[in-house]
Amino acid sequence: MEAVEDLEAQQQKTMESHLPKIQRKAKHPVILKFKDVVYKVKLPIQKKTLFNKSAESALREKVILNGISGVVKPGEMLAMLGPSGSGKTSLLTALGGRLGGNLKGNIAYNDKPYSKQMKRNTGFVTQDDVLYAHLTVTETLVYTALLRLPNTFTKEEKIGIAEDVLIQMGLSRCKNSMIGGPLLRGISGGERKRVSIGQEMLIDPSLLFLDEPTSGLDSTTAQRIVSTLWDLAQGGGRTVVMTIHQPSSRLFYMFHKVLLLSEGNSLYYGSGSDVMDYFLSVGYIPSVPMNPADFLLDLANGLSPNETEDQGTVKEKLIVAYKNKIANKLKTELQEEEAAVTDDSKKVGKWPTTWWQQFSVLLERGMKERRHEFFDLLKITQILVVAFLVGLLWWQSNITHLQDQVGLIFFSNGFWGFIPLMNAIFAFPPERMVLAKERSSGMYRLSSYFVARMISDLPMELILPTVYTIITYLMGGLKYKMTCFLYYLFSQLLGIMVAQGLGLALGAIVMDHKAATTLGSVLMLTFILAGGYYVQHIPAFIKWIKYLSIMNYDFKLLIGSQYKPGQTYPCGDKMCLVEDFPSVKSVGLNGQFVCVVVLLGMFVVYRVIAYVALMRIGVTRKIRKA
Ligand SMILES: Nc1ncnc2c1ncn2[C@@H]1O[C@H](COP(=O)(O)OP(=O)(O)OP(=O)(O)O)[C@@H](O)[C@H]1O
């Protein structure tokens, strides 16, 4: 890949002279204030009525966050601690401007509400790393830089920034290693987390949120990650907020501020070093020397060192103590902090890069991610062997009867693995097609495959059928003239792209993979059956479905790539017209141009539907948030 090679060359040149940009200051320092944040969700409950004991559904409101306040300044790192289910992720998501629904209270960024400009200035690292398994660390960062950085940077500058971040995150040693996944060994968990943080650091955010950046890591690796974050905050003037489960005592004292949550309530907010004194002042002191984080979690779970108190009493006591001793002080602190950043929201364009740039980077990344599929030895062998065998079937065949041997290829739009096989089966005169049809019907790719593939990347679908077709053609499996061959290839690719559009539209409308797959299966089956080849006598009242069927147009084009009206084939002792053969007749040989136009129309319309459906989801989320 060109961009990655550029990066490697640049890295060699600049490695020594480069100072990691960890000292680089935040561009727009952010004071994050949140006051009385309340978040509630409605949950269904089953209620039994008095008389008939049947279940009756009702909604119950659950308070997830109950009036949480705090302030985090540039250069500070806030850690949110608490038992599982205490509301850490909900609060982090709310502060990161990502939580819709019933959210109340005041969250301000330099005394202003969340805005597009703030979004550009904010990085959010989710708990689960969303990375491509087959890309290297360098490729991952370079592609993200090319996608996310605005056009005010040249391509070389974007690559340079990716290089800075790579060094900054301490990833130089594994820069050429694959990310890896469940079935592929790759970089370590700590390195993965660094790559995820690096992806956010590319946009140089002044406000950084991280959801459990140390979960699943050993204490040394966790320490390294938190040290990096500490540098970003303290050295770079950034505001860092994270949730963390059970930090070691070494980590605990690195946090400038700690917020302890229990069932959506604040139990402590303040500096990490003051925490033990505070709990001593409210009557709790660990019975044995222990990690302060463990002590805090025990208290948040209602476990007191004085075993006389029950869990409810402990929690209640700590909530009251918080209100009396911390809440008022915090209110004053919230009022005192002055915002110090100018509002430059007008400078923010709609998209950082053009449509074409996004398309080409995504295409290149998709190809790179799936190169192992294209170049997998087994797959290459499969392509070559099958294509070779298919070619052999027609090797030295009598070319004076070429026309008779030209088959009807209508399955080429199907599962790529069967394409040469289909070509072989269908490269027979039409009278033998019925047998071929029966043999092959079960092989037709399932719609679930079709939806899954369509929702994923494009190149695989385009490249493999093309490779098969070309090899088979070269081997003589397809006895076409070049124009027929190109026509065939064109109709095949057009069909695939239209089908992909349909998959995208379904996926975007339903937004549920399982439901989209099921719907896709039903739709595809309907389209296949209504397409005119399998069922030739469709009842009049559902005949119109044929005109919506991609298959109808695709079959027509594929048959058209083989036969022209007026061509004949030997049937018994006479010659019959190809267009009179029953299955060809039901599809028809005329109207080829109309088919191309309709398929192109479908290609556009399905994508527009997908776009509108996605936009609608975005708008609905915004309305919910508002
Ligand atoms: N949309 C929702 N609908 C129903 N319950 C929700 C919703 N969002 C959060 N909750 C509930 O709110 C509580 C807090 O969830 P949250 O994920 O914030 O906790 P957490 O402290 O981050 O937990 P963990 O450490 O296990 O990730 C949980 O009991 C969760 O089930």
**Residue 238 CB–ligand 1 contact under 6 Å:** no
- Cβ 88 vs Cβ 243: under 8 Å: yes
What's the DSSP call for residue 245? S
**Residue 562 CB–ligand 1 contact under 6 Å:** no
**Residue 237 CB–ligand 1 contact under 6 Å:** no
What's the DSSP call for residue 26? P
Sign of CA dihedral 321, 323, 329, 330: positive
> Which residues are CB-contacts of 612 (< 8 A; sequence separation ≥ 6)?
none
End-to-end CA distance of the chain: 43
- Cβ 140 vs Cβ 131: under 8 Å: yes
Confidence (pLDDT) at 623 = 57
What pairing do the DSSP bridges indicate for beta strands 77-81 and 257-262? parallel
Ligand 1 atom at minimum distance from 92 CA? 18
**Residue 64 CB–ligand 1 contact under 6 Å:** yes
**Residue 82 CB–ligand 1 contact under 6 Å:** yes
- Cβ 158 vs Cβ 174: under 8 Å: no
Measured in Å, residue 31 CA sits from the centre of ligand 1 at: 26
Helix (H, G, I), strand (E, B) or coil at 316: helix
Ligand 1 atom at minimum distance from 64 CA? 12
DSSP states of 569-604 as a string? EEETTEEEEGGGSHHHHHH-SS-HHHHHHHHHHHHH
The two three-digit tokens of residue 208, written as one number = 């950084």
Helix (H, G, I), strand (E, B) or coil at 203: coil
Confidence (pLDDT) at 258 = 93
What is the interface pTM, i.e. ipTM, of the complex?
Answer: 0.95
**Residue 85 CB–ligand 1 contact under 6 Å:** yes
The two three-digit tokens of residue 101, written as one number = 């629904």
**Phi and psi, residue 168, nearest 5°:** -55, -35
**Residue 396 CB–ligand 1 contact under 6 Å:** no
What pairing do the DSSP bridges indicate for beta strands 55-72 and 574-577? unpaired
Confidence (pLDDT) at 482 = 64
- Cβ 390 vs Cβ 477: under 8 Å: yes
Minimum CA distance residue for ligand 1 atom 31: 85
Minimum CA distance residue for ligand 1 atom 25: 84
Q: What is the pTM of this model?
A: 0.67
Measured in Å, residue 98 CA sits from the centre of ligand 1 at: 14
Task: Give a three-class secondary structure readout of 331-395.
Answer: HHHHHHCCCCCCCCHHHCCCCCCCHHHHHHHHHHHHHHHCHHHHCCHHHHHHHHHHHHHHHHHCC
Pick from 166, 153, 199, 168: nearest CA to 8: 166
Measured in Å, residue 113 CA sits from the centre of ligand 1 at: 24
**Residue 44 CB–ligand 1 contact under 6 Å:** no
**Residue 86 CB–ligand 1 contact under 6 Å:** yes
**Residue 88 CB–ligand 1 contact under 6 Å:** yes
**Residue 228 CB–ligand 1 contact under 6 Å:** no
Measured in Å, residue 75 CA sits from the centre of ligand 1 at: 29
Confidence (pLDDT) at 418 = 41
Which residue out of 38, 39, 64, 297 has the highest number of ligand 1 atoms within 8 Å of its CB and is therefore the one to mutate? 64
Measured in Å, residue 61 CA sits from the centre of ligand 1 at: 14
- Cβ 395 vs Cβ 388: under 8 Å: no
Ligand 1 atom at minimum distance from 86 CA? 21
Measured in Å, residue 115 CA sits from the centre of ligand 1 at: 25
Low-confidence ranges of the chain (pLDDT < 50): 1, 3-4, 7-23, 54-56, 340-341, 343, 345-346, 348-349, 394, 396-459, 477-479
Which residue out of 37, 88, 210, 245 has the highest number of ligand 1 atoms within 8 Å of its CB and is therefore the one to mutate? 88
Distance CA(493)–CA(465), nearest Å, equals: 8
Distance CA(299)–CA(315), nearest Å, equals: 7
> Which residues are CB-contacts of 290 (< 8 A; sequence separation ≥ 6)?
none
pLDDT digits (tens, 9 = 90+) for 402-460: 333 333 333 333 333 344 344 444 433 333 333 233 223 222 223 333 333 333 344 45
